[in-house]
Each structure stands twice: as structure tokens, then as C-alpha cells.
A = this chain, B = another copy of it.
Amino acid sequence: MPSQSSRFEIAPWSIGWRGWDDARQARRESVFSLSNGHIGWRGSLDEGDPCEVPGAYLNGLYEQHPMPYAEDGYGYPEHGESTVIAPDGKVIRLLVGDEPFDIREGRLEHHAQELDFRAGTLHREVYWTSAAGASVRIESTRLVSLTHRAVAAVDYRVTALSGPIDITVLSEIVANEPLPEVHPDERVMAALERPFDAVDRSVAGTRATLLHRTRRSRIGVAVAMDHIVSGAANVETTATDDVARTTVTVRLAAGEGIRLQKFVGHEWSHALTDHALRDRVEAAVSTAVAREWDGLAREQREFLDAFWEASDVTVEGSARLQQAVRFSLFQVLQSAARAEVRSIPGKGLTGPGYEGHTFWDAETFVLPVLTYTLPDAAAGALRWRRATIDKARERAEQLHLAGAAFPWRTISGRECSGYWPAGTVAFHINADIAGAVLRHVRVTGDRDFERDVGLEILVETARLWVALGRFDADGVFHIDGITGPDEYSALVDDNIFTNLSAQRNLRGAAHAARRHPSAARRLGVSDEEIGSWELVADAVAVPFDAVRGVHQQSAGFTELERWDFAATSSEQYPLHSHFPYFDLYRKQVLKQADLVLALQLFPECFSAEATARAFAYYEELTVRDSSLSASTQAVVAARVGHLGLAVEYLTEAATIDLDDLKDDVDDGLHVAALAGVWTAVVWGLGGMTDGDDGLAFCPRVAEPITRFGFGVRIAGEVLRVDAAAEATTYTLSGGHPLCIRHFGEVVELEPGVPVQLATPPLPSPGETPTQPPGRSPRELRAAAQA
């Protein structure tokens, strides 16, 4: 498991890197990202250079650009949206004597960066001697506050190791930094060049504020900074349109130091006036200054202590896996903690990948984890979807459908997909959102949320499904010509994942509408309409190949030609970079779990035998060119008893970003894949399912894991699960007694009373399924590290 290539230092509660290496700096910038879901700071060096992929992001801030098409079509989105680099307040440049500190010059004696999962900080330590022989120690610690949404801060210290040395520290906000290529079309990139118009700037003492507005999307952005400088230094603050700068100059004798505490406030808005924006960020900065660095850092640790106490995932037997599991959960937390009525983009706020867009990943992979670990963050993300429902209604109308059609990829809530066979028609996004609502309500028991936020989503998506599908002469309901999760298939009929997701959506809408009759009436829901949802739900097609005795990912799938895996070389992966779509679409080959995701999420719809057969069948076809597959395969592998394979998939999920298995971590982390690490442990090894009849577990350890534990929040309480080979201990924190199932047996847990239950013997799972040549999780990892 430990990878030679990654070279990240292994520790239980942090991840570090020692020394310096020009190669793949961007990967470390992504891994060392700090975020609270509102602000994202990549792990770039304080001094700004060298830098591979710069980045400071504000969730929801975007610039609009024209969408380029070689041939036009009805309903194609006219405008795209792209993340832009927000005015960047993390920059602190340093002059030692009159030499700019640059790790590529002078002599770098020591360099270390460490992301601390409990402190919620990125710490850096440098010993450096300039070409002229001046030696300094630099320590910087950053945080993006989990308790003050608009605030990020840097504690920056320089100590003279020789002396005397003239030190100049330039603390800056820099706007209109160039965006890395986020789109292949030059014209799109041109539209994103220098996205901000300067609106206003102000300086007061050590505080400076820059106010900008994006050119096309007309979003106001304010970023302010203030400082506390310790030591007798000269401090001056200035601002131009795109740069605010506080300059600190001091002469240090050997052994003397200077400390700069920097507090940065961030806000953006479509609606607020410039004055209001400025007032808000300056207030945020004032609050932060009052707390000073130590206060912010203490609150940060307290927030995380509470989080980890409830939600830590322990894995014994592999230090690297333990680290990866906590890293993953920490980054998932960071992506959403303070998003609050914002989305969770595919890359979180860790990079410009996917133009900063949000996909189905959020609801399908990330929200289940958040609902069980940080439910308010999950609620916030769903409130964001609810806030975009008018755009989704307009889209449905444009498509001549009913209800709401949520976008496949977006920042603002408008559809931004430029390839309709894998965008517009991936309608499952709607059921994914509805499913996240239903789980959230089920797990939290929050009926107010259900009524005020969830119901409208459920109702409008239910209406979409009724309009989208059709009954055949035999009364079976079909959803034709759509695209399911697997991106190597498109325009299929009766994709099982989609159909079962729609079924859950429709039934959930019916239940919720019955539970909130007056709210439902306000949405125009009649008893007849509820009846129609149930009728459709009961009638959805679930294609099964009777000859082969296996479920079909979509109608006819198992009769398609098989991909010629034997003729495919390892250099030809990912397949979509080497083969045309049409050839992938017409053959049996999967980019990612699709039917197997249905197995994971709808266990009640498949017998144990059907699950095992389907898993084995689709394993042979799944190449995992997507990061959204390993965790699903881990879950189902464990469920059908192939625990070794499950651990392999867990390991793959845990290394996708740390070992850069997809060769694209430069652009940001795969938040959904990181969430999948939790899923692979909790749903996979923990054997969790969470249907209408409550939580169920079947925990089993497997080599090299000797013991593992996790916590799930349920109805405001925490259920800790601690699993070893022979037995599992369940501990409920408080509240009412809770019924769960352990290997099918119903157990009532009393608050505060640990219950230890034995692990039954593992029935023989039969032959281990095989993957396409070269595409087993072990081979994939080996290839990526080669």
C-alpha cells in the first residue's frame, strides 16, 4: 500500500512533505488545500512562486462565457460558467536583505509542509540562506476558518539566524491572477482572462480592502485583510486596483524574529451593494483581529475535535490507509463545512478542474457521508439545490418536460453541459438529488427540512419522471433514450440505476406530500397526482436477461458486443482518450459502476444471488476510467463476501488522489472519490445499509485491516461502531434507544451502553470476480506508480 511515488509522510493525523521537488508541485498544492466550503486556498507557497496551479476560490463565484459549438442544436446551453481565481489574500512575499526569498535560489536547508487534520491548518517550516549568506527560519501556518465562514488567516514568522538582516515582508491581496487552462477552447479562455473589473479600494491603517466585479456574470467580490505585527517594525499599507499590500520592514539581529498575523475576509454576492460587501468583509476581518491567530486556531481545533470525536474512522493494520482515510474525510469536511446554501463542486474548492462545476457526485457520493457526519453541511447543500429550482423548472419547460430538470453540471444552477448525450439526458441527477433529500430526512428526522426544503424538490423531480417516461401496452413504465451513470454508455432505455432511483424519487415524493398535505397543496399536488406517482413507481421496468440470468444495466445491454479487452493495450486507457464514443457506447464496457451502484443503493431490489451474479458479470466489464467507481465496487464486493477485493478497492479509492491514479490531481482533489473512502469503509467493510427499515451492519475485517471503527450521526446522536475479527461493538451516544440490525438480527441499542455482537462465519463467496486485463485495483495502482 505505501507508495514510493507519492512520498507524502505517513502519520495518523496529518500528511506532510519534506524537502522540495519541482516535479508535480501542483499535486501537493491540491493535497495541501485548505477550505471551509466557502473559501478555498490551494496549498501554494506563501510567496507565490514557484507555483504550478495558482488558486484561491470562493464557492459560487464564477464568470460566464459563451459556449462554443461546431454544430448548434435545440436546447444547447448558450452560456457556460467557470470558476475564476478570487482575489488571493494568502500571498506573503519576503525579502531577505535585498534578495527575494525563493526556494529555487540561495540554499534551502530545510523545507517541510504539513496538513494537520485536527488543527485544521497547513504548517510550513523553512530554513533558508540567501545567496548573500543571510540565514532565516520561516514558519507559516494557515487556516481557513471553520468557525468564521468569511475568514482565513496566516500566522507568519521570520527569525534571523544570522544577522543583522534587513527583512521586508509584503502581505498582499492579488486580483486577476491568470487562470490555468480550464477549457480547451481559446475563446472560452479569452473570456475568462482578467475576469474582474476593479470597483473600489480602501486602506485604513494596516487594513486594506479590494472590491471587484466580474465582467459578465456581474458578481461583486470583496476581499479585505488586516494584520497584527509583533516587533518594532515599519508597517505601511497601500492599494492599487488589483493589489493591496502591507509592507513590513525591520532589521533583525541574529536570533531575533518578527511575527505577522494576517486576517483575510471574503465575500461575494450578486445582489449586495458594493458598500454592503465592503462592510461585511471588514467586519469579518475585525472579528478575526479581535480573536487574534491563537483564538482562531483554538476555535478551529475545538470544531475539529468535536467532529473527529463523533466521526473519526479508525483503521488498524495499515498506517498509510489510516492516514488516507482521515485525509479523505478531512477534505470532505473542508469541501462543505461552511458552504451553506452553496454547492459542493466536483473538485471542492481545491482547484480549477471541471471549471469548478458541481455534478451528481455531490448528492450521490458526498452527501451520504455528510448526512452521517456533518448533517448541517448536507442540509446546506440541499438548500442550495432548492434555491436553484426555478432554473431547473425553466430547463424542464425548455425540454418540453414537467417539473424540474436539474443541471448535469453547473455553478449557478443553470445547465452548463456542452455534450448532451452525457449531460442533458443524464436525468438521474434529479433522482440523485431527491435521494439525498430522502436520506437526509430519514437520518436526521428533520421534518421541517422535509417540508420547507425537501418537498418541493421531491415533487418537482417526481413530475419530471412522469413526463419523461411512458407506459407500454403491458403497463410497464419505461424511461427511454437517457444516459445512466456509466459514461461509456449513452442514450439507453431503462437504465436500472435510473429507473430504481426514479422509483425511490416517486415514492418518496408521495410519502412526503402525504406527510405535509398543506405544503403539498401549495405546490399544486392533488391526490390523483400522488396516485400517479405511485402507479409509475410500481411499474418501472427492471430489465433482466433471462438467458444469462443477470440484470441488464439497461435494456439489451448484455446482448451488446463485448469490448475487445484483449486487444486493448494499457496505454489505451482511459478509453475515452483513445477511442470514439460511438464504439464505447455500442459495446459492453463500463467506465464506472452503474448497475453495481444500483446494487449498492437499492439492496432490497436484488436477491443475494442476483447481486452476486450481477457483481461478477459487471466486474469483467468495468475499467474504472472514472474516479467514481472504486468505492462502489468496494461496497458490493464486501457485500457478496469478496473481502479481499473490497479492501483492494478501498485502497484504490484511498490512493486516487494521494497517488494521483487518474493523473489529474493537479487541477484539484476528487471530492466524491474521497467521500467514497468513507463509504468503502462504512458501507463496504461495515456492511452498512440504510433503507426505510433502518440501519443495518455486517462488519468484517480483512487483511491487512485488523480492526476498524466509525461513527454515524443518527437523529442527532452518534452511533459508534468498532469492528474486530470476532465481534463488533456498537455504542449509542444518547437520546432514544435505537434499533439496528447486525448481520440481519435486530438489536436494540440503549444510549451509553456498548453492545458487543459476534461476527458470524463468512459463507464461501465462491470464485473471486475478475476485472478486464490490467484493470484490477492492484494492477491499476501498480501502473499508476510505474
Chain A residues at the B interface, C-beta cutoff of 8 Å: 66-77, 80, 184-187, 399-400, 417-421, 423-425, 470, 478, 480-482, 490-491, 493, 560-561, 576-583, 585-587
Contact = CB atoms under 8 A, between A and B. Distances in A.
30 contacts: A66-B186, A68-B69, A69-B69, A69-B184, A70-B76, A70-B77, A70-B185, A70-B417, A70-B418, A73-B576, A73-B581, A74-B576, A74-B577, A74-B578, A74-B580, A74-B581, A75-B580, A187-B187, A399-B580, A400-B583, A420-B580, A420-B581, A421-B421, A470-B561, A480-B560, A480-B561, A480-B586, A480-B587, A481-B583, A481-B585
Contacts of A69: 68-70, 184-185, 418
Nearest to A483: B582
Contacts of A585: 481, 491
Contacts of A580: 73-75, 399-400, 420, 424
- Oligomer: number of copies: 2
A72 B184 contact: yes
Contacts of A187: 68, 186-187
A419 B470 CA distance: 28
Contact of A68 (B70, B425, B470, B481): B70
A80 B73 contact: no
A403 B617 CA distance: 34
Say whether chain A's binding surface is mostly helix, strand, loop, or mixed.
loop
Contacts of A480: 560-561, 586-587
Given A480-B586, A491-B586, 12 more contacts: A68-B185, A69-B185, A70-B80, A70-B185, A70-B417, A71-B417, A73-B581, A399-B580, A420-B582, A424-B582, A480-B587, A491-B491
A461 to B, nearest CB: 18
Contacts of A80: 70
Contacts of A561: 470, 478, 480
A651 B561 CA distance: 45
A10 B77 CA distance: 46
A582 B425 contact: yes
A402 to B, nearest CB: 13
Contacts of A493: 586
A73 B419 contact: yes
A141 B585 CA distance: 57
Contacts of A66: 186
A325 B587 CA distance: 47
Nearest to A555: B556
A438 B504 CA distance: 56
A419 B72 CA distance: 9
Contacts of A583: 399-400, 481
A539 to B, nearest CB: 15
A582 B582 CA distance: 16
Nearest to A564: B400
A403 to B, nearest CB: 16
B71 A418 contact: yes
Given A69-B185, A480-B560, A74 B586 contact: no
Nearest to A585: B481
Nearest to A582: B425
A70 B73 CA distance: 12
A730 to B, nearest CB: 47
8 nearest CB pairs, A to B: A70-B418, A481-B586, A68-B68, A71-B419, A75-B580, A480-B586, A71-B418, A425-B582
A388 to B, nearest CB: 20
A482 B561 CA distance: 14
Nearest to A73: B581
A502 B33 CA distance: 56
A576 B72 CA distance: 10
Given A68-B68, A185-B68, A491-B491, A582 B73 contact: no
A482 B587 CA distance: 12
A579 B397 CA distance: 11
Contact of A579 (B68, B74, B582, B587): B74
A736 to B, nearest CB: 48
Nearest to A184: B72
